[in-house]
Structure 1
Amino acid sequence: MKQLRQDYRGGAPEVVEAPAPRALPGRILVATRASLISSGTERQILELAQATLAGKAAARPDLVRQVVRTARREGLRRTAEKVRAKLDDPAAPGYSLAGEVLEIGRGVAGLAVGDRVACAGAGFASHAEINAVPRNLCARIPKGVSDTEASFATVGAIALQGVRRAAPALGERVAVSGLGLLGLLTVQLLKANGCQVLGYDPDPARAALARELGAEHAVSADLEGAAAAFTGGAGADAVIVTAATRSSAPVNAAAAISRLGGRVVLVGLTGMEIDRDLFYRRELDLRLALSTGPGRHDPDYEIAGRDYPLPHVRWTGQRNMEAFLDLVASGRLTPAPLVSHRFAIANAAQAYHLLGGGGPHLAILLDYPAPPRAAPARHLSLSRTATDTRPGVGFIGFGSYARGTLLPALRAASGTTLTAVVTSRGLSARSAADSAGFARAATEPGAVLEDPGTQAVVIATRHDSHAGYAAAALRAGKHVFCEKPLALDREGLDAVRAAAAEAPGLLTVGFNRRFAPLMGEMKAALAGMAGPLQILYRVNAGPLPPESWIHGTEGGGRLLGECCHFLDAMAHLAGAPAVSVQAVAASGAGDVVSALLRFADGSTGALVYAPMGDPALPKEQVEVFAAGRALRLEDFTRLEIAACGRRKVLRRKQDKGQRALMAAFVAAIREGGAPPIPEPEIFAATEASLALEQAVRTGRAVPLQRQDGT
């Protein structure tokens, strides 16, 4: 299929061939018929992509600070690799389209194959021939509404939410500042609501179009004078700002033309350095509109498909889309006159030339061929199939960690060739193949699991799929490198254990801490020590946004997703598996945990997992006490060993062992050696993480079964 791609390294947008996505649970597969280019949002993405590195840094100072912190910990080379990996992940422009349902994912109700739908959502409703869209981001298109009109549904819902936030009453005088797509749709919505409308835009042609669409008055100069005449000197009851500019002039101009006690609603992307005196003296109500409406930016609503109950939240994003389409069907809204240009998807780059300053424009539409009759192609060969005797490695999942850490580690190990990369989105698979040199891009795991040229599989998907993919790859006769965690529940762990017992392939999990050089020095310093160890592992994990996928079913929570690292590292230092786990969590915070472990050799371990801290303090600190020795490892950059009244300090750039682990994995598959981590230790660490999560839930100590069955 064809899809538009925007390179963040500064290149112009281009149309590429990409494998079609799958209809995952909760999503529908849509063949696009028309998609709308949003001038404001997509122009900003284009400008950011084409800016210099300095320009990108000026636009995102928060990311610059994050890069600086990473460079201090990990060094310039590894930080540069991560930055390059981020820049190699292109954008998929587009967020408003109309199309036809091709397939229905599990759990989707209310739609059928062949239905016409309008779709919303950046990263979902992209400029592509086929898109996989969550159910709550789709609205059925009523009869009589064309694909052209329906492609405005997302932008129309944004305009409608702005009008709802203004709460206009019948007969009120309302001003609209900025007469682009949003503004002109807002003018029509206000007229449908029984308001008298004043429009303003510096472009006289847009002001004239606003008058044609029903505005009583529209001007391109002297807004204050026009507003005074329009309202008889009283001021506007409400002003809706739909301008797209970094300047704060529109919001302050809105205040200047408002009546005492009026409402100012910001819908467009404008500056917000407000003139306090203007707002204070008129006691104005400043409101912001949440894009398409309630549910926007909520992954439970948008991704998981949990709708808000209508009696409590009347107008969600989806219901705003439906209301907009109904208004179009009734003839009270006419978005078609806003279309200034149309291009076929194959010529989308020309549309973006126009968007970047190639001439005046308003709504730009992309048109698509008729939906395919055959099943969409989900494998794409890139003709990199030269004979190679090195072991072939394929990736299932290729997010930022795979791109920025696992792939560089695999390349550093050398001795392999890249066969296929599988992701849920076709564009990310194609872009990963282009940037990394995979022979094939795909959206179906079979491209890796069923490929005879792929000897090893790297699994780097979201956590809930790790166990299933690992078991399937082992049963397919592949060697497996699974990024942690191996499993989120007992059933998944048992499935992997059974597959590993029957399959010849090696199983490795990304428990890299034990391969860190300074962790190796710590282990060596403890060699031959008599008696048990006392281990304290403190993790200053830092907060995650509440909407992060780690907190949901895909991630399984931070205890299962991350603490397995630290449990494995403590077992490695003790040289024995955990036999019991008990833990307490802070009140109201299930991932703020203090845990106590007992190991089979009598050693004890205390894990303090603290997501409430500040990143200025090092993330990880390990202290070990044993037989007259004390050791302290700080963030894998400094190791202090105290013995016989003397101290020895070792320092190095941060190295958490990812490259050493991958090198050991590659050596094992090439030379037929033992796995880097013995399977019993992999399963023991996973058992311990499941026990930790259970101990937090129940408040009771959880015993663990040892490998000998006792």
Structure 2
Amino acid sequence: MKQIIQSFKTGETILEEVPRPQVRKGYVLIKTHRSLVSLGTEKMLVEFGKSNLLEKARQQPDKVKMVLDKIKADGLVPTLEAVFTKLGEPLPLGYCNAGEVLEVGEGVFDFKPGDRVASNGPHAEIVCVPRNLVARIPDTVSYEEASFTVIGAIGLQGIRLTNPTLGETVVVSGLGLIGLITAELLLANGCTVIGFDFDAQKVTLAQEKGIQAYNLSQGTDPVKTVMELTGGIGADAVIITASTQSNDLISQAAQMSRKRGRIVLVGVIGLDIKRADFYEKELAFQVSCSYGPGRYDDEYEKRGIDYPLPFVRWTENRNFQTILQAIATGKLDVKRLITEEIPLGEYQRIYSNMGGNNSIASILTYKEAVDLRTSVAVNGKAGSFSKPGKAVLAIVGAGNFTKMTMLPVLSKIGADIKYIVSAAGVSGTHLAKKYHIPLSSTQYEDVLQDKTVTSVIITTQHNLHASMTVQALQAGKHVFVEKPLVLTPEELQQVIEVYVQQPDTSVTVGFNRRFSPFIQKAKSLLGTSPEPLNLVITVNAGFIVPTHWTQNMAVGGGRIIGEACHFIDLAAYLAGSEITQVVASALGNHPTQNSDNVSVIVRCKNGSQCVINYFSNGHKAYSKERIEIYSMGRVLILDNFRKLEGYGFKGFSSMSGKQNKGHAQQFEAYYSFIQKGGEPIIPFSQIINSTKATFAAIQAFTSGQRIEVE
């Protein structure tokens, strides 16, 4: 299928051939008939992409600070690599979609194939959208009209925050697409509406709809005009839907407001607010968040948990429904806003000149026939993988770890990769092109059924690791799964049962720190003495917001399972012995399973013990990881995988270099194993022990008891 994407690196807008997305649990798969181009938002994205690196930095000073902090922690070269990789990511454009349901995912009961729906899907022939971002189109509303649903909801949410009452005077500053819709909805609400814009065409259209609209390019003073029209009282409310870096609009809004008036920002403007403007009138100012309550809440949007109507009357989905109903009843006339309808294949007629485009609403139209393939060929190498016995990889997951860490390493060692599988197909296709991978797919089954694929590398969200590992083993594939292996003891038992039934397969978990040259040097210095060790591992993990997917126990498993497992495994590896006991304590009086300020003490079979401090409340400028090893009157200190210092070792005092956590060495060893056979790079028994010890750590700090590890 075809989809419009934007490159932040080059500014180029491309119609890309990508595999169609797969319907997921709680999602709806939709064949697009029409999509509306948001000229304001998309113009801003296109122009940002076309700007040079310095201009990008000037526009996002907060991101520059984050980069500087990362340089201090990780070094210059890794930081620059991460920045340029991020800029190279493709961005799907569009969020105003109308089409026909093809499939519904598990748990979706109120839609069926053939239903006409509006959603916030991108400009693509097929889109997969969470159920709460999909609304049924009334029979009397066309696809063209329905494509205004989402952008209409943006204006509607601004109105809801304004809370206008019958007879109030409301100013709409900026009569672009959102401004015109906002103004018309205010009229339907019984308000007197005053509008301002610099575009004569938009002002005229607003006047035809009954709005008292004024052309600012003719020298109209907006503050004076509002005061004259309101008899010197001022506007009851001002809704700003314009886009400008100037601070003038916020000042004008304050000046034209009555005492204790309301100002709501829907657009993007300069916000250097003068206290006196707001203080003297006791003005209320609020920024509107997109489509309404539920926006950016993963529980609502991605996991389909609705807010109860008696307590949250107007969610983003109910705002969608309201806009569609307003169109159906004729209270909102969007047909007159349509300037042009362009076939998807001729998209450059819109995007090549967005700065000079005077269109109010541009609509993309789509062909009836659509390519439904779940895999697309990116180049012609696919046939070269048919040779029997060849080590062939398939990568499942196209997130940050895949693109920033794994693929650069695998590419450097010349690994043969046949597939990359991603949920939506866009990121996977981008990476397939960049690293000359023949096939981009959205269907895991394509990989499992391909007998030429010998190993599957899984880097998806954590809740998929166990099931995908089991499926790959049952298909006779070797499995490399980025940590963690599983999220629950039950999943672990399932993996073990399938593993023992597949003697010709292997399971490897991405415990990369074992393979770091610094850790290998430490192991060689420590030797094979049977004397137990004392270890202290301190992880300055940094704060992650509670709403991040890794903090969700059902999806990410929390940070102890998802990340601290690295260090529990490293402790057992350095000690050279399996973990038998775990004691742990979490910060605060009421720790929960996803606590991420935790001290864990593990005791090994050979008597070694390790204190693992995993903290999220430290400062970013301090080293992320510090390892101390005490043994037989000697000490080793490893700082942030950049410098190893030894005390009491004959002939060794220090080793330093660029940060190296062992990813390259891990993948080199794994690919060699897949090619040549032999023993797996991490014994399966050690993977099981580290995983069980991680579960024991959570049980220990939530129960306050010492936990024995089987």
TM over 0.5: yes
How many angstroms apart in 2 are the aligned matches of 1:45 and 1:369? 26
Moved more, 175-184 or 454-463: 454-463
Residue 495 of structure 1, CA deviation: 2.4
Q: Work out whether residues 506 and 669 of structure 1, in 8 Å CA contact, stay in contact via their aligned partners in 2.
A: no
Query: How far apart in 2 are the matches of 1:467 and 1:281?
Result: 61
Shift of 1:485: 0.6
> Where does residue 582 of structure 2 map in the other structure?
581
Counterpart of 2:467? 468
Matches of 2:644 and 2:3, distance apart in 1: 50
Contact 1:32 1:371 in 2 (8 A): no
For the Cα contact (< 8 Å) 1:187–1:214, is it kept in 2? Answer: no
Q: Give the corresponding residue for 2:366.
A: 368
Q: C-alpha separation between the residues in 1 aligned to 2:649 and 2:148?
A: 75
The partner residue of 1:136 within 120, 126, 132 is 132
SS at match of 1:28: strand
Distance 2:408 2:535 in 1: 32
SS in 2 for 1:246: coil
Q: Within the alignment, does 1:207 sit opposite 2:203 as a pair? A: yes
- The CA deviation string for residues 34-63 of structure 1, in whole angstroms up to 9 with x for no partner, is 111112211111111111122222222333
What corresponds to 1:538 in structure 2?
A: 538
Q: What CA distance in whole angstroms lies between the structure 1 residues aligned with 2:347 and 2:705?
A: 60
2:288 matches 1:289? yes
**Match for 1:154: what amino acid?**
V
Q: Is 2:609 aligned against 1:604? A: yes
1:696 positional shift: 2.8
| Root-mean-square deviation over aligned CA pairs | 1.8
* Partner Cα distance (2:570, 2:315) in 1: 46
Larger mean CA deviation between 146-155 and 48-57 belongs to 48-57
Question: What is the CA distance between 1:89 and its match in structure 2?
Answer: 1.8
Shift of 1:597: 1.1
- Which residue does the alignment assign to 1:8? 8
Corresponding residue for residue 378 of structure 1: 374
The reply on whether 1:299 has 2:298 as its aligned counterpart is yes
Alignment pair present for 1:349 and 2:348: yes
3-state SS of 2:434 partner = helix
Contact preservation (8 Å) 1:622, 1:632: yes
**Residue 453 of structure 1 corresponds to which residue in structure 2?**
452
Q: Distance in 1 between matches of 2:398 and 2:183?
A: 44
Q: Which moved more, 1:611-620 or 1:57-66?
A: 57-66
Q: Distance in 1 between matches of 2:73 and 2:3?
A: 38
Provide the rounded CA distance (Å) in 2 between the counterparts of 1:680 and 1:413.
Answer: 28
Conservation of the 8 A alpha-carbon contact between 1:100 and 1:371: no
Indicate which of 182, 186, 190 corresponds to 2:182: 186
State the secondary structure of the residue aligned to 1:653. coil
Rounded Cα–Cα distance in structure 2 between residues aligned with 1:197 and 1:371 = 44
Which one of 357, 363, 378 corresponds to residue 359 of structure 1? 357
* Distance across 2 between alignment mates of 1:591 and 1:78: 26
- Tell me the CA shift for residue 399 of structure 1: 0.7
- TM-aligned CA deviation for residue 601 of structure 1: 0.8
Task: Tell me the distance in 1 between the aligned counterparts of 2:481 and 2:26.
Answer: 26
- One-letter identity of the residue aligned with 2:289: L
Structure-2 residue corresponding to 1:614: 619
Q: Post-superposition shift, 1:250?
A: 1.2
Report the alpha carbon displacement of residue 66 of structure 1 after superposing the two structures with TM.
3.4
TM-aligned CA deviation for residue 166 of structure 1 = 1.0
1:572-614 CA deviation, whole Å, 9 max, x = no partner?
Answer: 0110111111212122552211111111111111111101111
TM-score, structure 2 normalization: 0.95
Shift of 1:22: 0.9
Structure 1 CA distance for aligned equivalents of residues 353 and 656 of structure 2: 55
Q: Which residue of the other structure, out of 664, 674, 685, is the alignment partner of 2:679?
A: 674
Cα pair 1:199 1:215 within 8 Å, conserved: yes
Q: Deviations over 1:461-511 (max 9, x none)?
A: 111111111222222222222111111112222222233323312322110
Q: 1:596 to 1:35 in 2, by over 3 A?
A: same
Alpha-carbon distance in 2 for matches of 1:387, 1:148: 46
Residue in structure 2 matched with residue 690 of structure 1 by the alignment: 695
SS at match of 2:94: coil
Contact 1:530/1:627 (<8 A) preserved: no
Once residues 466 and 176 of structure 1 are traced to their aligned partners in structure 2, the CA distance between those partners, rounded to angstroms, is 50
Query: What amino acid is the match of 1:559?
Result: I
Question: What CA distance in whole angstroms lies between the structure 2 residues aligned with 1:548 and 1:163?
Answer: 30
Q: Deviations over 1:87-122 (max 9, x none)?
A: 3320001111111111010011211111111102xx
Give how far 1:358 is off: 3.7
**How is 1:255-404 mapped onto 2 (pairs within 5 angstroms)?**
255-355=254-354, 357-370=355-368, 376-382=372-378, 383-387=380-384, 391-404=391-404
Measured in 1, the distance between the counterparts of 2:612 and 2:288 equals 44
CA pair 74-128 structure 1, distance change in 2 beyond 3 A: same
Q: C-alpha displacement at 1:306, in angstroms?
A: 0.8
Residue 237 of structure 1: CA displacement?
A: 0.8
Question: Match of 1:656?
Answer: 661
What is the letter of the counterpart of residue 570 of structure 2? A
SS of 2:453's equivalent in the other structure is: coil
Instruction: Map 1:51-200; keep pairs closer than 5 Å.
Output: 51-120=51-120, 125-200=121-196
Partner of 1:442: 441
Q: CA deviation at 1:424?
A: 0.6
> CA offset at residue 287 of structure 1?
1.5
Please state whether the residue corresponding to 2:382 is helix, strand or coil.
Answer: coil
Query: SS at the partner of 2:42?
Result: helix
Kindly indicate whether the alpha-carbon contact (under 8 Å) linking 1:158 and 1:291 is maintained by their aligned counterparts in 2.
yes
Matched, 1:49 2:45: no
**Which range is displaced more, 42-51 or 183-192?**
42-51
Task: Tell me if the contact between 1:74 and 1:655 (Cα under 8 Å) persists in the aligned partners.
Answer: no
Show the 5 A alignment for 1:618-629: 618-629=623-634
Deviations 1:185-217 (A, max 9, x none): 011111011000110001122111111112134
8 A contact 1:82–1:405 mirrored in 2: no
- How far apart, CA to CA, are the structure 1 residues paired with 2:136 and 2:419? 36
In structure 1, how many angstroms separate the alpha carbons of the residues matched to 2:384 and 2:110?
Answer: 49
SS of 2:92's equivalent in the other structure is coil
Contact 1:162 1:289 in 2 (8 A): yes
Q: Deviation at 1:312?
A: 0.8
- More displaced 10-residue stretch of structure 1: 341-350 or 573-582: 341-350
Q: Post-superposition shift, 1:546?
A: 2.3
**1:143 positional shift:** 2.0
Would the aligned equivalents of 2:533 and 2:608 in 1 still touch at CA under 8 Å? yes
Of 2-11 and 186-195, more deviation after overlay is shown by 2-11
Q: State how far apart, in whole Å, the 1-side matches of 2:646 and 2:618 are.
A: 26
User: Is contact 1:30-1:130 (8 Å) kept?
Assistant: yes
Aligned-pair CA distance for 1:646? 10
| AA aligned opposite 1:567 | I
Superposition TM-score, scaled by structure 1 size: 0.95
Inter-partner Cα distance in structure 2 for 1:691 and 1:502: 26
**Contact 1:628–1:644 (CA under 8 A) maintained in structure 2:** no
Question: Aligned-pair distance for 1:136?
Answer: 0.7
> 3-state SS of the aligned residue for 1:163?
helix
DSSP 3-state at the match of 2:273: coil
Q: Distance in 2 between matches of 1:199 and 1:66?
A: 40
Shift of 1:426: 2.0
Q: Which moved more, 1:382-391 or 1:234-243?
A: 382-391
Work out which of the residue numbers 617, 630, 633 in structure 1 matches 2:638. 633
Matches of 1:301 and 1:140, distance apart in 2: 18
Which is worse superposed, 598-607 or 219-228? 219-228
Query: How far has the Cα of 1:386 moved from its partner?
Result: 4.9
Letter paired with 2:368: A
* 1:559 matched residue in structure 2: 560
Aligned-pair CA distance for 1:615: 0.9
Deviation at 1:77, TM superposition (A): 4.2
Identity %: 39
Structure 2 SS opposite 1:387: helix
Q: Which residue of 2 aligns with 1:708?
A: none
Alpha-carbon contact 1:28-1:101 (below 8 Å) kept: yes
SS of the counterpart of 1:499? helix
C-alpha separation between the residues in 2 aligned to 1:644 and 1:25? 57
- The aligned amino acid for 1:257 is M
